[in-house]
């Protein structure tokens, strides 16, 4: 089984960390291919960033289809381009926010999402709503950390995130934590050990869900909304995205 983990930003140090965490939970015999697109933002911290990350993400999905990839993980907590990726892919495509929220609802009664910047909190609430997870989501909290600070040696990011997770348990009435950024993937075990509650990393959660779907031979339905996009010419910068019948 081959699973492609796509970090939609172009910061390779984060992609390597994401790939390592996915490999740590993957079953024997599962090959993890971790990639960043050739184009796009260095971090995703706004709707603008997210929109500009999607073309590169879709290029990686298209390349995966040519290479016979069995399933995909979109490793950004905004789950950018998820529906479009599912239109292109035969195998399952899972977003890390989607996976983490669903798994959190199975191991606790209420979860808090702890993310990076306050400006991204609205998107996390929006995803909780569309995934049917709003009734399980006690709160969305931000540490006011730029995403790339998670990659800086000597950064106090780990301590600030752990402190915010602790406050979430004390103030929100939650009994588990969802880490709201793929760049936090390596903090899951550390924070879980400190707090003594389930801490869910979406990269690990999505990797195991994709493995399960592939093992069950469940592919993306090509009937209705997620059917392959209609053949259509694209112009200008997007000419390379033209789909032919």
pLDDT tens-digit map of 84-100:
999 999 999 999 999 99
Both 133 and 197 in one domain: the answer is yes
The stretch 158-168 carries a mean pLDDT of 94
Both 107 and 172 in one domain: the answer is yes
Both 66 and 14 in one domain: the answer is yes
Q: Which domain holds residue 216?
A: 2-96+205-241
Q: What pLDDT does residue 224 have?
A: 94
Both 197 and 105 in one domain: the answer is yes
Per-residue pLDDT band at 245 (split at 50, 70, 90):
confident
- Closest to 147 in 3D by CA, of 179, 115, 112: 115
Alpha-carbon distance of 91 to 218, in angstroms, equals 7
Structure tokens at 52: 């500009």
Per-residue pLDDT band at 147 (split at 50, 70, 90):
confident
Q: What pLDDT does residue 152 have?
A: 83
Whether the pLDDT of residue 204 is over 80: the answer is yes
Per-residue pLDDT band at 156 (split at 50, 70, 90):
confident
- Closest to 9 in 3D by CA, of 34, 32, 28: 34
Both 45 and 124 in one domain: the answer is no
Q: Which H, E and C letters describe the chain, residue by residue?
A: CEEEEECCCCCHHHHHHHHHHHHHHCCCCCEEEEECCCCCCCCCCCHHHHHHHHHHHHHHHHHHHHHCCCEEEECCCCCCCHHHHHHHCCCCEEEHHHHHHHHHHHHCCCEEEEECCHHHHHHHHHHHHHCCCCCCEEEEEECCCCHHHHHCCCCCHHHHHHHHHHHHHHHHCCCEEEECCHHHHHHHHHHHHHHCCCEEEHHHHHHHHHHHHHHCCCCCCCCHHHCCCCCECCCHHHHHHCECC
Look up the CATH number of the domain holding residue 174.
Answer: 3.40.50.12500
Both 170 and 235 in one domain: the answer is no
Whether the pLDDT of residue 32 is over 90: the answer is yes
Q: What pLDDT does residue 78 have?
A: 95
The stretch 140-153 carries a mean pLDDT of 89
Both 38 and 74 in one domain: the answer is yes
> Percent of the chain beyond pLDDT 70?
100
pLDDT digits (tens, 9 = 90+) for 115-136: 999 999 999 999 999 999 999 9
Per-chain mean pLDDT for the chain: 95
Both 111 and 80 in one domain: the answer is no
- Closest to 21 in 3D by CA, of 197, 203, 172: 203
Q: What pLDDT does residue 178 have?
A: 98
Q: Are 185 and 201 in contact (CB under 8 A)?
A: yes
Task: Quote the number of domains for the chain.
Answer: 2
Whether the pLDDT of residue 175 is over 80: the answer is yes
Both 106 and 192 in one domain: the answer is yes
Both 170 and 77 in one domain: the answer is no
Both 131 and 84 in one domain: the answer is no
Contacts with 209 (C-beta within 8 Å, 6 or more apart), sequence order:
92, 94, 99, 102, 103
Structure tokens at 18: 């994401």
């Amino acid at each position: 089984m081959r699973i492609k983990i796509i970090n939609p930003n172009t910061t390779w140090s984060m992609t390597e960390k994401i790939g390592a965490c996915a490999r740590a939970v993957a079953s024997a015999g599962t090959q993890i291919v971790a990639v960043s697109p050739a184009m796009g933002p260095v971090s995703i911290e706004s709707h603008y960033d997210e929109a500009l990350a999607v073309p590169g993400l879709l290029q990686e999905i298209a390349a995966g289809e040519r290479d016979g990839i069995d399933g995909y993980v979109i490793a950004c907590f905004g789950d950018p381009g998820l529906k479009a990726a599912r239109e292109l892919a035969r195998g399952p495509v899972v977003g890390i926010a989607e996976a983490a929220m669903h798994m959190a609802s199975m191991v606790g009664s209420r979860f808090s999402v702890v993310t990076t910047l306050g400006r991204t909190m609205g998107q996390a609430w929006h995803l909780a709503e569309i995934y049917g997870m709003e009734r399980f989501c006690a709160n969305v909290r931000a540490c006011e950390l730029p995403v790339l600070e998670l990659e800086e040696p000597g950064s106090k990011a780990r301590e600030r995130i752990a402190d915010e997770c602790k406050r979430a348990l004390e103030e929100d009435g939650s009994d588990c934590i969802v880490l709201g950024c793929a760049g936090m993937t390596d903090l899951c075990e550390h924070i879980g050990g400190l707090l003594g509650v389930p801490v869910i990393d979406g990269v690990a959660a999505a990797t195991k869900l994709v493995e399960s779907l592939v093992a069950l031979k469940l592919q993306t339905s090509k009937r209705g909304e997620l059917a392959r996009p209609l053949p259509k010419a694209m112009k200008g910068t997007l000419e390379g995205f033209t789909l032919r019948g």
